[in-house]
């Protein structure tokens, strides 16, 4: 694996061919787009589509009788349990994705000559913690009578959002620093996600759930700080 940034025959920039670039600029003024409309029309269509679109999914009705009772109870006290269940589903999907990100990263790190064994060990430890967090969310959903196997709307959305991160790390051509950069995107988002979930669980009167999540948040803060440190070391090593 090429684990450092190198100079090479990159022809993507305008400096590679000033004459052709001049012609290209001229053409952009002369050749009009063959699709009617402009950026104002594009914005208008986007607004119209957003206004009439259906929701991306729904939160399933809790399957167990116990869940039904709890849901009804929360409705009575003016809290929407579906918001909490949706965000729990999101965290579950994210942590499951986190396990896959670390597995892809560990496989990549193995390709490095003289790989840092301590870093590999820590990656494995973080991978295991992501799996534990997943189980923590499963337990919370079951406590509420919700189905942890269901794809909630927010779970669906984070799956799509994280596709770029997974693609970056699983691309065999990306080096360690590029992969760590992608992982940092996920870990920073994960931290914010746990903070919001704890706030939400508290607001929904589910203090035992929010307390059980504090340990996960503390561990995620270590993940983000460590990945940030690895990225910095890896980039500075190349200088
Ligand atoms: Fe993490």
Smallest CA-to-CA distance from 146 within 69, 220, 215, 61 is with 61
161 CA → ligand 1 middle, Å = 16
Domains and CATH numbers, the chain: 59-238 (1.20.1260.10)
Question: Does residue 235 carry a pLDDT above 80?
Answer: yes
pLDDT tens digits for range 58-100: 998 876 655 555 555 565 444 678 899 999 999 999 999 999 9
Of residues 214 and 61, more confidence is placed in 214
pLDDT above 90 as % of the chain? 74
Strands (E), the chain: none
60 CA → ligand 1 middle, Å = 27
16 CA → ligand 1 middle, Å = 42
Smallest CA-to-CA distance from 127 within 186, 172, 178 is with 186
Instruction: Tell me, yes or no, if the pTM score tops 0.85.
Output: yes
95 CA → ligand 1 middle, Å = 7
224 CA → ligand 1 middle, Å = 7
pLDDT tens digits for range 150-160: 999 999 999 99
26 CA → ligand 1 middle, Å = 49
pLDDT tens digits for range 20-41: 999 999 999 999 888 888 999 9
235 CA → ligand 1 middle, Å = 21
Mean pLDDT of 217-227: 98
Q: How far apart are the first and last CA of the chain?
A: 18
Mean pLDDT of 102-114: 93
Residue 61 DSSP class: P
Torsion region of 210: left, alpha or beta (phi above 0 gives left; psi -120 to 50 gives alpha): alpha
pLDDT tens digits for range 132-179: 999 999 999 999 889 999 999 999 999 999 999 999 999 999 999 999
Q: Which helix (H) or strand (E) holds 8?
A: none
205 CA → ligand 1 middle, Å = 26
153 CA → ligand 1 middle, Å = 22
Q: Which two tokens stand for residue 25?
A: 């600029």
pLDDT confidence of residue 77:
43
């Amino acid at each position: 694996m090429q684990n450092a940034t190198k100079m090479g025959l990159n022809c993507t920039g305008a400096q590679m061919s000033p004459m052709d670039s001049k012609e290209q600029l001229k053409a952009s003024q002369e050749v009009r787009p063959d699709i009617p409309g402009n950026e104002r029309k594009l914005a208008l269509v986007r607004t119209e589509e957003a206004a009439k679109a259906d929701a991306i999914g729904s939160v399933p009705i809790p399957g167990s009788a116990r869940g039904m009772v709890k849901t009804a109870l929360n409705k009575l006290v003016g809290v929407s349990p579906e918001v909490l269940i949706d965000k729990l589903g999101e965290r579950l999907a994210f942590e499951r994705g986190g396990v896959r990100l670390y597995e892809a990263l560990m496989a990549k790190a193995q390709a490095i000559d003289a790989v840092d064994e301590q870093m590999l060990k820590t990656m494995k430890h973080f991978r295991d913690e992501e799996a534990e967090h997943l189980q923590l969310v499963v337990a919370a959903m079951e406590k509420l009578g919700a189905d942890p196997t269901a794809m909630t709307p927010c779970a669906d959305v984070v799956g799509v959002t994280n596709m770029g991160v997974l693609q970056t790390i699983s691309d065999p051509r990306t080096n360690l620093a590029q992969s760590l950069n992608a992982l940092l995107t996920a870990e920073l988002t994960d931290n914010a996600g746990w903070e919001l979930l704890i706030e939400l669980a508290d607001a929904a009167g589910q203090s035992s759930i929010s307390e059980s999540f504090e340990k996960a948040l503390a561990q995620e803060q270590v993940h983000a700080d460590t990945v940030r440190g690895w990225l910095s070391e890896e980039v500075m090593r190349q200088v």
